[in-house]
């Protein structure tokens, strides 16, 4: 289904076009178009709607889940020190999941029709249109699906009473990640820490896209040797 010399028409829905790029997809998707308004994905209004998420939906939907999970551990007898330590551990584990997903799933290299199409839906769209404000945070449906294996992992590595708080800590880490991610793209930080985070992340988008996979911190980039180094910027399309 890959078409030789295929050219994507940005005025038409993109999702079922990008697969035709074949091996050229990798280069195409990493030539960012920095406009706030993104392209249309699907011809269907219903499927198009499911790809759009306002940033504030993340804390509105998932913070109550965090509170509910923590309250479950409290109701099962966990003390305040236990709750705090387990929630912090959950946040810490999330930072690793954030790095792992970004590096090994979101940046997987594809060249088949369906591989390119799936990658574009998962993360390629964000690199092609990094300032698209309605396709920056995870859609709630995708997050809910990912919650299933993560909840099972939390149960496997903790006790019945601490598993909810551990999962809640991981969910809190996720909320902080997605809100931070949106902030780094669309806000104008004034504090040194957030200014450096913004510079670090936009460097990943516009200069060195195979390094700098951490969003909320560079911790795991340091651990695994993926800190970016100075390199000539890519040309924007």
- pLDDT surpassing 50 at residue 53: yes
- pLDDT surpassing 60 at residue 225: yes
- pLDDT surpassing 60 at residue 230: no
pLDDT band at 232 (very low <50, low <70, confident <90, very high): very low
Q: Which of 128, 134, 232, 216 is nearest to 178 (CA)?
A: 216
Please give the average per-residue pLDDT across 121-146, as a whole number.
94
The mean predicted confidence, pLDDT, of the chain is 92
The residues spanned by each domain of the chain are 14-224
Q: What is the pLDDT of residues 65-120, one digit of tens each?
A: 999 999 999 999 999 999 999 999 999 999 999 999 999 999 999 999 999 999 99
pLDDT band at 23 (very low <50, low <70, confident <90, very high): very high
33 and 121 Cβ atoms separated by less than 8 Å: no
The DSSP secondary structure of the chain, one letter per residue, reads: ---TT----TTS--TTTGGGGGGGHHHHHTS----SS-----SSHHHHHHT---TTHHHHHHHHHHHHHHHHHHHTT--HHHHHHHHHHHHHHHHHHHHHIIIIITT----SHHHHHHHIIIIIHHHHSTT-TTSSSPPHHHHHHHHHHHHHHHHHHS-TTTHHHHHHHHHHHHHHHHHHHHHHHH----SHHHHHHHHHHHHHHHT-TTS---SS-SHHHHHHT------PPPPP-
Q: Record the pTM.
A: 0.90
Q: What is the pLDDT of residues 147-181, one digit of tens each?
A: 999 999 999 999 999 999 999 999 999 999 999 99
Residue where the block lists tokens 């590595």 = 157
Report how far residue 128's alpha carbon sits from residue 120's, in angstroms, rounded to the nearest whole number: 9
């Amino acid at each position: 289904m890959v078409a030789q010399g295929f050219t994507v028409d940005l005025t038409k829905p993109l999702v079922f076009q990008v697969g035709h790029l074949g091996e050229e997809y990798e280069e195409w998707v990493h030539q960012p178009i920095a406009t706030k308004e993104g392209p249309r994905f699907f011809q269907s209004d219903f499927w198009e709607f499911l790809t759009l998420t306002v940033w504030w939906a993340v804390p509105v939907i998932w913070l109550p889940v965090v509170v509910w999970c923590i309250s479950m551990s409290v109701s099962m007898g966990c003390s305040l020190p236990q709750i705090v330590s387990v929630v912090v551990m959950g946040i810490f584990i999330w930072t690793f999941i954030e790095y792992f997903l970004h590096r090994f799933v979101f940046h997987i290299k594809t060249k088949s029709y369906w591989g390119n199409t799936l990658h574009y839906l998962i993360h390629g769209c964000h690199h092609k249109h990094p300032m698209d404000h309605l396709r920056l945070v995870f859609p709630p449906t995708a997050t809910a699906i990912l919650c299933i294996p993560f909840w099972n992992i939390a149960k496997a590595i903790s006790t019945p009473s601490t598993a909810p708080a551990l999962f809640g800590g991981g969910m809190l880490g996720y909320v902080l990640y997605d809100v931070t991610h949106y902030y780094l793209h669309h806000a104008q930080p004034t504090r040194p820490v957030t200014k450096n985070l913004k510079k670090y992340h936009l460097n990943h988008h516009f200069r060195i896209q195979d390094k700098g996979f951490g969003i909320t911190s560079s911790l795991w980039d340091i651990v695994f040797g993926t800190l970016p180094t100075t390199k000539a910027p890519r040309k924007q399309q």
